[in-house]
Structure 1
Amino acid sequence: MRADEHWYGNPALDKAYRTLVDEEDARVCRNISDEACHVVPGNFFLQILSHFFTKLGDAVANPKTVLPWLLSALAAPGFFTALLVPIRESGSLIPQLFIASYVRRVAQRKWAFVLGCVLQAVAVLAMALVAVGLDGMAAGTGLIAALVLFSLARGLCSVASKDVLGKTVPKTRRGQVNGWSAAAAGLVTITVGALLLLGGGEAGDTAVYLLLLGGAALLWLLAAASYGAIREYPGATTGGGNAFSEAIHRLDRLRTDAPFRRFVIARALLLCSALTAPFIIMLAHEQTRGAALVLGLFVIADGLASLLSAPFWGRFADASSRRVMVLAGAGAGGVGLTLVVLTQVAPALAQSAWLYPLFFFLLAIAHAGVRLGRKTYVVDLAGGDKRTDYVSVSNTVIGVVLLLMGSVGLLTAVVPVAGVILLLSGMGIAGAWLSARLPEVT
């Protein structure tokens, strides 16, 4: 018997799968091969497990919460903090047109994901070593360098995972893979936040960050091991020629494929759900004190949002990923707009330490919906060999947009933070409007 045989042909596992997807005929396979259909339950749970590890690792080494506090503890110059989110996101997105050429040459693309997880573990371990041995400018430089490696490896995982998901899990089940893994990771993240809240101690206590980042590195290695056990049947390896010429060819899809082009524009506008978060934290710093308290509350809020909302968004995305994008985008815009109004009309309320984690929680719920909706939508929109192209082109374009929109932070020199949040909220509402005009693909 194969070492991973317990994941396949197991009656208990099959029953759990039928229960989780909550449909009478859970064996109906849409948009995958007949041979892949026979091993769906095992592949379904292995992907939930591996994505659980990666999502938990992302939460522990979060550039919106944990890493800014680490840079502060190491007395790194402030401009390094401003680089965290753009580098982490754009560094993984922009190179994907070229990464896709490598992935397309691999018949079993799960191994590209495994490689990406191992590289992310190395990068996070390097961050932990920076926390122990460096400070000031050297610490900032070292952490950003490690983050660049982390981002590139994350891009490799992103391209590969959506292709593997499309090959191994049928339509109407794919959203739940991300939904259940995000919920489980959210539950554990709450525990991490509680520990920070109760025992995080002083901002300069680097031992806390060493434990967090060392644990995150272990999580990515566990993700690599579980993903490697997925039973993926070899697929087509066309389109893996010269990286530059293939990249130019794929970009032409934006001109020739109208539904895909509208999706990319809508996704760009829905970036507000990610970009608003740091400005909520900036508002909190303007009005409150106590970094350890705030860090714990924000981590708890982030984890609680994933725990409560991800299964709902996952099921909703399998019914209509387009409607998830509409509702979540409008929600993200509404959260920012409401927070700004409250801080302007109720100055006393604006000084409450609980207000900002509450709105961060609501924004995180909307952001989870945006992520699950657009991930499920692009997989279902593409189908077949177009999937890798769709993912890589959209991610590369979004990476460039993120870099450009990262300069929004410069507006805080002339515009109040609340004004920047209003601008981003308007983007979210526009993104929801455009998403409502996308074709249904479920």
Structure 2
Amino acid sequence: MKPIRWTEKLYDYLNNEEDARICKDIDESACQNTPKNYFLIMLSNTLTKLGDTLSNPKTVLAWVMSYVNAPIYLISFIVPIRESGSMLPQIVIASYIRTKEKRKWVYVLGAILQFASIAAIGFVSLYTQGATAGWLIILFLVTFSLSRGLCSVASKDVLGKTIPKTRRGKLKGYTVAVSGILVLLAGLYMVYQSKSDASITFYSYTLFFASTMWLISAVIYMGVQEFPGETSGGRNGWKEAMERIYLVRSDKNFRRFIIARSLLLCSALTAPFYVILAQTYLGKEGFLLGLFIIANGLASILSAPVWGRMADVSSKNVMTFAAIIAALMGIAMFVLISFVPNAKNAYWLYPVAFFILGIAHSGVRLGRKTYIVDIANGNKRTDYVAVSNTIIGFILLITGGISAAAAIISTEGIILVLSLFGLAGAYVSYQLPNVE
């Protein structure tokens, strides 16, 4: 009789498995390796999420670029570039990935390139200043984003081949929760370090540490047991890309998902404006960065496992509920800042609001990631991921101009507008069919 390994016992406990393992949507050979793959993917993704937080353009990179006196207009570009740069090429990247029977190596390559890019930003911030530093950071942020696109397409496909349905949401939830604990510790350390007047050296070393997370993640991901899967011929990438764009016209539910996801960008786009509000009314003291990171970490720890379990039941409902929370928080912030004079000077308000927004954003991300993985199988899943991400990339570039509008519209006014889009996104999400 085959001995039961600790990974199998823990996997069964976390997923409430009893006598027979539930393997929906994957074959028996993959099912036998599910527990090992479950924890390898969880650990690998936990490390990259920590790296993402410690190099986040909404907080850390903005702080770093401010320290090196990069031009303000360059700082306003870092969020759209980081997000859209990883999405726009995915429809072409998918054509390359479709030719591979094993796709984990695409993820490994992308993780190594992300390690090199963030390490390069660390060196730039340490040794250059002004516009030179700003442009170099933008350059390496572009290479980081393109590399991130490789990981995004490949990881979802590997997840779909190795982890069964009704288990993927919990995997993502546990991953975010564990990484949230690490992020919380990092935030506490930053608050502590701010007492010693953290310098650019400290933030550069933070970026170096963040970069190693992707390198270690790549090494761990190599151990994932992935069996050869469906492939297609190596036709012209651009030609295949244009053909797959028609999925948006032919597939009604997929089209609705893209509309919903576009509207749900409010939870991500609103976040930097909460930071700007705090800087405007409270100043740019170093400990504020730590407080925002702590708030984000706590939000992940407390909400992600719950969102994950809910997503395995109905991922579209998770998208709906999370969008409503994000929208109501934004509307509340607009009312407080605009009509309650003492609120704008309250130190507790901004981290608490960021915490609630973090809970909502965690739900939006978990919901839409689980939905896109569960909606299809094989190469069709790869096509859905690539097409939706490419379209969202274009939309992000367009909405990135919101930062420039801040000079005309008040920051709290922008938060209100984005929150109203969030309410519309909640309605469209609710209209989607269940796929679990």
TM tier relative to shorter chain? over 0.9
The answer for the alignment partner of 1:428 in structure 2 is: 422
2:231 alignment partner in structure 1: 237
Aligned partners of 1:28, 1:22: CA distance in 2, in Å?
10
- For 1:93, the equivalent position in structure 2 comes to 87
- 8 Å Cα contact 2:71/2:134 also seen in 1: yes
Identity %, equivalent residues: 49
* Cα distance change on mapping 1:307 and 1:391 into 2, 3 Å: same
Does the 8 Å contact 2:198/2:286 carry over to 1? Answer: no
Instruction: From 274, 284, 294, give the equivalent of 2:278.
Output: 284
User: Residue 314 of structure 1: CA displacement?
Assistant: 0.9
Aligned twin of 2:339: 345
State the match for 1:376 in structure 2.
370
Q: 1:183 aligns with which of 174, 177, 188?
A: 177
CA contact (8 A) 2:112 2:215 kept: yes
Determine the C-alpha separation between the residues in 2 that align with 1:61 and 1:20: 30
Following superposition of structure 1 onto structure 2, how do residues 132-143 of structure 1 map, counting pairs within 5 Å?
132-143=126-137
Q: Residue 384 of structure 1: CA displacement? A: 2.4
Q: 1:298 is paired with a residue of what secondary structure?
A: helix
* Paired residue total: 435
Separation in 1 of the partners of 2:59 and 2:165?
34
Offset from partner CA, 1:89-111 (integer Å, 9 cap, x none):
00000110111111111110000
1:9 to partner: Cα distance: 7.2
> Does the 8 Å contact 1:200/1:208 carry over to 2?
no
Alignment-derived partner of residue 405 in structure 2: 411
- Give the counterpart of 2:25 among 31, 36, 47: 31
Q: What are the Cα deviations for residues 50-77 of structure 1, in whole angstroms up to 9, with x where unaligned?
A: 1001101001111110000000111111
> Could you say if the C-alpha distance between residues 26 and 60 of structure 1 is closer, same or farther in structure 2, counting changes exceeding 3 Å?
farther
Higher mean alpha-carbon deviation, 400-409 vs 388-397, is at 400-409
What SS does the corresponding residue of 1:157 show, helix, strand or coil?
helix
Match of 2:167 in 1: 173
* 1:198 pairs with one of 192, 200, 218: 192
Q: Say whether 1:268 aligns with 2:277.
A: no
1:19 equivalent to 2:13? Answer: yes
SS in structure 2 opposite 1:318?
Answer: helix
Q: 2:251 & 2:50 partners in 1: Cα distance?
A: 36
Q: Unaligned regions of 5+ residues in structure 2, if any?
A: none
- TM-score (norm. length: structure 2): 0.98
Could you tell me which runs of 5 or more consecutive residues in structure 1 were left unpaired when the two chains were aligned.
1-7
Any conservation in 2 of the 1:69–1:203 contact (CA below 8 Å)? no
Structure 2 counterpart of 1:50, from 44, 48, 58? 44
The alpha-carbon deviation at position 200 of structure 1 amounts to 2.9
Equivalent in 132, 136, 151 of residue 157 of structure 1: 151
Residue 391 of structure 2 is matched in structure 1 by 397
Match of 1:102 in 2: 96
What is the CA-CA distance between 1:410 and the residue it aligns to? 2.1
Aligned residue type for 2:291: L
Root-mean-square deviation over aligned CA pairs: 1.3
- Aligned letter for 1:435? S
**Where does 1:56-71 land on structure 2 (aligned, <5 Å)?**
56-71=50-65
Q: Determine helix, strand or coil for the equivalent of 2:61.
A: helix
Cα-to-partner distance string for 1:172-215 (whole Å, 9 max, x where unaligned): 00011211111111101111111111113577711111221111
- How far residue 345 of structure 1 moved from its aligned partner, in angstroms, is 2.3
| Alignment counterpart, residue 213 of structure 1, candidates 193, 207, 217 | 207
Question: How far apart in 2 are the matches of 1:101 and 1:131?
Answer: 36
Return the alpha-carbon distance in structure 2 between the equivalents of residues 412 and 206 of structure 1.
27
TM-score with structure 1 setting the length: 0.96
Native 8 Å contact 1:73 1:203 kept in 2: no
Alpha-carbon distance between aligned partners in 1 of 2:228 and 2:265, rounded to the nearest angstrom = 34
Q: Alpha-carbon deviations, 1:148-185, whole Å to 9, x = none? A: 01000000000000000000000000011211111111
Asked whether the 8 Å contact 1:96–1:395 carries over to 2, the reply is: yes
Taking structure 1 as reference, are residues 163 and 9 closer, same or farther at Cα in structure 2, changes over 3 Å only?
farther
**Distance (Å, rounded) in 2 between the aligned partners of 1:212 and 1:354:** 26
